[in-house]
Amino acid sequence: MILDTNAISAMSYEVRRAEDKEIERVLQEASHPYLSVPVLAEYRYGLINSRRQQSLETWLGQLQSSWPVLVLDVLTAHHYGIIKNQLSKKGRMIPVNDIWIAALALQHHLPILSEDRHFDAIDGVQRIGWKKRR
Protein backbone atom coordinates (compact mmCIF):
# COMPACT_ATOMS: atom_id res chain seq x y z
CA MET A 1 0.00 0.00 0.00
CA ILE A 2 1.05 3.57 -0.68
CA LEU A 3 0.97 5.88 2.31
CA ASP A 4 -0.61 9.29 1.89
CA THR A 5 0.83 12.30 3.70
CA ASN A 6 -1.78 12.12 6.46
CA ALA A 7 -0.73 8.52 7.15
CA ILE A 8 2.93 9.52 7.45
CA SER A 9 1.91 12.36 9.77
CA ALA A 10 -0.17 10.03 11.94
CA MET A 11 2.77 7.63 12.20
CA SER A 12 5.22 10.36 13.14
CA TYR A 13 3.49 11.67 16.24
CA GLU A 14 5.69 11.16 19.25
CA VAL A 15 2.53 10.90 21.34
CA ARG A 16 -0.21 9.68 19.05
CA ARG A 17 -3.86 10.44 19.44
CA ALA A 18 -5.91 7.35 20.26
CA GLU A 19 -7.56 7.19 16.81
CA ASP A 20 -4.15 7.22 15.12
CA LYS A 21 -2.88 4.18 17.03
CA GLU A 22 -5.04 2.04 14.76
CA ILE A 23 -2.69 2.86 11.89
CA GLU A 24 -0.14 0.47 13.38
CA ARG A 25 -2.57 -2.44 13.03
CA VAL A 26 -3.38 -1.53 9.44
CA LEU A 27 0.32 -1.32 8.56
CA GLN A 28 1.04 -4.68 10.17
CA GLU A 29 -1.65 -6.26 8.00
CA ALA A 30 -0.27 -4.66 4.82
CA SER A 31 1.86 -6.80 2.53
CA HIS A 32 4.38 -3.98 2.17
CA PRO A 33 4.15 -0.23 2.66
CA TYR A 34 5.49 2.16 0.03
CA LEU A 35 6.40 5.82 0.17
CA SER A 36 6.11 8.08 -2.87
CA VAL A 37 7.88 11.18 -4.12
CA PRO A 38 4.75 13.41 -3.89
CA VAL A 39 4.17 12.38 -0.26
CA LEU A 40 7.80 12.93 0.68
CA ALA A 41 7.65 16.38 -0.93
CA GLU A 42 4.46 17.32 0.96
CA TYR A 43 5.80 16.02 4.26
CA ARG A 44 9.14 17.79 3.86
CA TYR A 45 7.28 21.02 3.06
CA GLY A 46 5.39 20.61 6.32
CA LEU A 47 8.63 20.11 8.23
CA ILE A 48 10.18 23.40 7.12
CA ASN A 49 8.58 25.43 9.91
CA SER A 50 8.11 22.62 12.42
CA ARG A 51 9.55 22.99 15.92
CA ARG A 52 10.46 19.30 15.68
CA GLN A 53 12.05 19.56 12.22
CA GLN A 54 15.37 17.95 13.12
CA SER A 55 13.92 14.91 14.92
CA LEU A 56 11.26 14.38 12.24
CA GLU A 57 13.84 14.71 9.44
CA THR A 58 15.88 11.98 11.15
CA TRP A 59 12.77 9.80 11.54
CA LEU A 60 11.79 10.34 7.90
CA GLY A 61 15.29 9.47 6.73
CA GLN A 62 15.09 6.18 8.62
CA LEU A 63 11.68 5.48 7.09
CA GLN A 64 12.99 6.24 3.59
CA SER A 65 15.88 3.83 4.05
CA SER A 66 13.51 1.09 5.27
CA TRP A 67 10.70 1.33 2.71
CA PRO A 68 10.77 1.55 -1.08
CA VAL A 69 9.98 4.94 -2.63
CA LEU A 70 7.84 5.01 -5.78
CA VAL A 71 8.91 7.64 -8.31
CA LEU A 72 6.97 9.38 -11.05
CA ASP A 73 7.65 8.26 -14.59
CA VAL A 74 6.07 8.28 -18.06
CA LEU A 75 3.50 5.62 -17.15
CA THR A 76 2.56 7.56 -14.01
CA ALA A 77 1.96 10.61 -16.21
CA HIS A 78 -0.36 8.53 -18.40
CA HIS A 79 -2.44 7.50 -15.38
CA TYR A 80 -2.38 11.08 -14.09
CA GLY A 81 -3.98 12.34 -17.30
CA ILE A 82 -6.71 9.70 -17.21
CA ILE A 83 -7.52 10.36 -13.54
CA LYS A 84 -7.58 14.14 -13.91
CA ASN A 85 -9.88 13.87 -16.93
CA GLN A 86 -12.17 11.47 -15.05
CA LEU A 87 -12.37 13.78 -12.03
CA SER A 88 -12.97 16.81 -14.23
CA LYS A 89 -15.91 15.07 -15.92
CA LYS A 90 -17.32 14.21 -12.50
CA GLY A 91 -16.81 17.79 -11.30
CA ARG A 92 -14.78 16.49 -8.35
CA MET A 93 -11.25 17.83 -8.62
CA ILE A 94 -8.81 16.96 -5.85
CA PRO A 95 -5.37 18.35 -4.93
CA VAL A 96 -2.75 17.83 -7.65
CA ASN A 97 -0.37 15.82 -5.47
CA ASP A 98 -3.22 13.45 -4.60
CA ILE A 99 -3.79 12.84 -8.31
CA TRP A 100 -0.11 11.87 -8.59
CA ILE A 101 -0.46 9.53 -5.59
CA ALA A 102 -3.56 7.96 -7.13
CA ALA A 103 -1.72 7.58 -10.46
CA LEU A 104 1.06 5.70 -8.68
CA ALA A 105 -1.53 3.52 -6.94
CA LEU A 106 -3.09 2.57 -10.29
CA GLN A 107 0.27 2.06 -11.94
CA HIS A 108 1.50 -0.29 -9.22
CA HIS A 109 -1.88 -1.87 -8.37
CA LEU A 110 -1.69 -0.74 -4.75
CA PRO A 111 -4.26 0.67 -2.31
CA ILE A 112 -3.71 4.06 -0.66
CA LEU A 113 -3.58 4.39 3.12
CA SER A 114 -5.34 7.70 3.72
CA GLU A 115 -8.11 9.41 5.59
CA ASP A 116 -8.80 11.61 2.55
CA ARG A 117 -12.11 10.36 1.20
CA HIS A 118 -11.69 12.20 -2.09
CA PHE A 119 -9.60 9.21 -3.26
CA ASP A 120 -12.89 7.28 -3.25
CA ALA A 121 -14.01 9.29 -6.31
CA ILE A 122 -11.27 7.76 -8.47
CA ASP A 123 -12.23 4.65 -10.42
CA GLY A 124 -9.90 1.75 -9.73
CA VAL A 125 -8.32 3.23 -6.61
CA GLN A 126 -8.85 1.55 -3.25
CA ARG A 127 -8.49 3.74 -0.18
CA ILE A 128 -7.87 2.21 3.23
CA GLY A 129 -8.56 4.34 6.29
CA TRP A 130 -7.59 3.70 9.88
CA LYS A 131 -9.94 5.89 11.92
CA LYS A 132 -13.26 4.58 13.08
CA ARG A 133 -16.18 6.69 11.86
CA ARG A 134 -18.87 7.68 14.31
Stretch among 6-10, 15-19, 104-108, 110-114 having the lowest mean pLDDT: 15-19
DSSP notation for 38-107:
HHHHHHHHHHTT-TTHHHHHHHHHHHHHHS-EE---HHHHHHHHHHHHHHHHHT----HHHHHHHHHHHH
On the question of pLDDT at 17 being above 50, the answer is yes
Q: How much is the average pLDDT of 57-76?
A: 95
pLDDT of residue 134: 46
Q: How much is the average pLDDT of 9-32?
A: 74
DSSP notation for 101-131:
HHHHHHHHT--EE-S-GGGGGSTT--EE--S
3-state class of 15 per DSSP?
A: coil
User: What Rg value do the Cα atoms of the chain yield, rounded?
Assistant: 15
On the question of pLDDT at 105 being above 80, the answer is yes
Q: How much is the average pLDDT of 66-92?
A: 97
Nearest to 122 by CA among 111, 133, 108, 134: 111
Stretch among 24-28, 96-100, 114-118 having the lowest mean pLDDT: 24-28
The domains of the chain, with CATH numbers, are 2-128 (3.40.50.1010)
